[in-house]
């Protein structure tokens, strides 16, 4: 990837948004809470100042994520695709071509008219004007700064905080910090959370909508995932491998797997958790998570580990994909684990 850094500032991007009539907002495939929250927060803010906005999620979208949006508020690509007649595109929570595959042709056709808002350390030259701030815990922290620059209230006076800009921002803030458990949940995160709660965001209802709203098939899928659990590098690393046969036998879908990678981190000795999921016969997706050890060692940098396979993310949360069958992808990961865990962390 090329050097990935900011090329613009909030006031310049706000000016471009104010001058555009029709704006399209997109994010990475299989959006998580931060991607979805960023799309929804910015779409709601721009609609509040009279802009025509097409907001898109991409790929497979969990039902819990869709529940964050009002009916008709977002479209899902590639079933629906953005229009090339739009004035301006905003790409949020990613800057990597590998994460926006269904939108490659559209984004290339829009070259020069793409704005980027991201908090990841690695990315590509998709957006000519972009703000990249890896110090932020969530992309919604960057979006809320832009919303403030636009002068839009996070909750309209007299309105409920449900399905507001504030709720969307809180969604990204909470989910990308593991509901405020990760090291990234610093003073700035808590200050923004306090601001949003003061505006009426119902954190309990939001948590239930996102984390306690799963179908019964999820438990069957969890049992199958745990049955594949193996330990590596003297118990420092846990790995689960989930095949298409597992998913089909449980009557589940890939959307039922969200958060499985965090389960092994409950074991005290585990510093890194990996889940490999067979998406197709020759496509395996990987999720990596880490945590600081109880001995005060820093967490394993899973962003750097994922980069070995062309992926990326954050120090404690990252992902990658392999154009390989599940068993071959597992061997690739195990081979790299030998070098990872032999080096000081």
Residue 5 is assigned to a structural domain of this protein: no
Supply the range of the domain harboring residue 38: 10-211
CATH number of the domain that 142 lies in? 3.90.1640.10
190-198: average pLDDT: 98
**In terms of domains, do 157 and 284 share one?**
no
**In terms of domains, do 103 and 189 share one?**
yes
> Which has more pLDDT, 342 or 164?
164
Instruction: Give the separation between CA 342 and CA 236, rounded to whole angstroms.
Output: 12
pLDDT band at 1 (very low <50, low <70, confident <90, very high): very low
DSSP-derived secondary structure letter, 31: -
The predicted structure's pLDDT at residue 295? 66
The predicted structure's pLDDT at residue 2? 54
Could you tell me the pTM of the whole model?
Answer: 0.87
Residue 242 is assigned to a structural domain of this protein: yes
pLDDT band at 7 (very low <50, low <70, confident <90, very high): very high
Residue 345 is assigned to a structural domain of this protein: no
Question: Which tokens is 23 given?
Answer: 């704006």
The predicted structure's pLDDT at residue 253? 87
DSSP-derived secondary structure letter, 291: -
Strands 272-280 and 283-290: antiparallel
**In terms of domains, do 143 and 107 share one?**
yes
SS3 26: strand
**In terms of domains, do 221 and 176 share one?**
no
102-115: average pLDDT: 96
* pLDDT(342) > 90: no
**In terms of domains, do 165 and 256 share one?**
no
**In terms of domains, do 86 and 56 share one?**
yes
The predicted structure's pLDDT at residue 341? 55
The predicted structure's pLDDT at residue 254? 84
Domain boundary among 188, 211, 234: 211
pLDDT band at 345 (very low <50, low <70, confident <90, very high): very low
**In terms of domains, do 197 and 48 share one?**
yes
- Per cent of the chain over pLDDT 90 is 84
The predicted structure's pLDDT at residue 344? 43
322-328: average pLDDT: 96
CATH number of the domain that 287 lies in? 3.10.310.30
Residue 64 is assigned to a structural domain of this protein: yes
Q: Using one digit for the tens of pLDDT, what is the confidence trace for 35-92? A: 999 999 999 999 999 999 999 999 989 999 999 999 999 999 999 999 999 999 999 9
Residue 280 is assigned to a structural domain of this protein: yes
The predicted structure's pLDDT at residue 313? 86
Domain boundary among 185, 211, 237: 211
Domain boundary among 166, 187, 211: 211
**In terms of domains, do 204 and 175 share one?**
yes
pLDDT band at 128 (very low <50, low <70, confident <90, very high): very high
Instruction: Give the separation between CA 281 and CA 31, rounded to whole angstroms.
Output: 23
- Per cent of the chain over pLDDT 70 is 97
Whole-number average pLDDT of the chain: 93
Number of domains in the chain: 2
**In terms of domains, do 201 and 225 share one?**
no
- The secondary element (H helix, E strand) that includes residue 232 is strand 230-232
* pLDDT(294) > 90: no
Residue 1 is assigned to a structural domain of this protein: no
The predicted structure's pLDDT at residue 312? 87
Residue 2 is assigned to a structural domain of this protein: no
**In terms of domains, do 27 and 103 share one?**
yes
Q: Using one digit for the tens of pLDDT, what is the confidence trace for 219-275? A: 999 999 999 999 999 899 999 999 999 999 999 988 889 899 999 999 999 999 999
List, in order, residues 6 or more apart from 56 with CB less than 8 Å away: 24, 25, 26, 27, 39, 74, 75, 76, 77, 80, 82
**In terms of domains, do 222 and 195 share one?**
no
Q: Using one digit for the tens of pLDDT, what is the confidence trace for 295-317? A: 667 789 999 999 999 998 888 89
Q: Using one digit for the tens of pLDDT, what is the confidence trace for 275-289? A: 999 998 899 999 999
Q: Using one digit for the tens of pLDDT, what is the confidence trace for 176-187? A: 999 998 889 999
SS3 3: coil
* pLDDT(325) > 80: yes
**In terms of domains, do 21 and 155 share one?**
yes
List, in order, residues 6 or more apart from 64 with CB less than 8 Å away: 209, 210, 211, 213, 214, 258
């Amino acid at each position: 990837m090329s050097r990935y850094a900011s090329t613009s500032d909030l006031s310049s991007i706000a000016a471009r948004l104010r001058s555009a009539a029709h704006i399209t907002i997109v994010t990475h495939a299989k959006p998580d809470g931060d991607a979805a929250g960023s799309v929804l927060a910015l779409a709601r803010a721009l609609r509040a100042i009279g802009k025509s906005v097409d907001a898109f999620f991409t790929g497979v979208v969990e039902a819990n994520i869709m529940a964050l949006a009002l009916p008709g508020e977002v479209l899902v690509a590639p079933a629906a695709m953005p229009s090339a007649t739009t004035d301006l595109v905003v790409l949020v929570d990613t800057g990597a071509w590998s994460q926006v595959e269904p939108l490659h042709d559209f984004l290339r056709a829009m070259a020069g008219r793409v704005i980027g808002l991201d908090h990841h350390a690695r990315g590509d030259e998709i957006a000519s004007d972009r703000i990249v701030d890896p110090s932020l815990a969530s992309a919604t922290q960057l979006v809320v700064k832009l919303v403030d620059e636009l002068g839009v209230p996070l909750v309209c006076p007299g309105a409920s905080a449900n399905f507001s800009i504030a709720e969307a921002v809180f969604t990204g803030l909470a989910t990308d910090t593991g509901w405020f458990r990760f090291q990234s949940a610093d003073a700035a995160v808590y200050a923004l959370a306090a601001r949003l709660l003061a505006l009426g965001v119902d954190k309990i209802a939001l948590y239930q909508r996102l984390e306690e709203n799963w179908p019964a098939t999820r438990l069957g899928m969890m049992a199958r995932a745990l049955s594949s659990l193996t330990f590596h590098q003297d118990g420092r690393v846990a790995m689960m491998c989930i095949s298409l046969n597992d998913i089909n036998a449980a009557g589940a879908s890939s959307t039922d797997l969200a958060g499985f990678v965090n389960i092994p981190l409950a074991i005290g000795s585990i510093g890194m958790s990996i889940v490999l999921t067979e998406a197709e016969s020759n496509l395996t997706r990987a999720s990596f998570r880490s945590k600081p050890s109880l001995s005060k060692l820093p967490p394993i940098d899973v962003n750097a580990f994922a980069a070995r396979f062309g992926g990326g993310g954050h120090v404690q949360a990252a992902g990658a994909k392999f154009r390989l069958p599940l068993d071959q992808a597992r061997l690739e990961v195990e081979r790299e684990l030998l070098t990872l865990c032999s080096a000081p962390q």
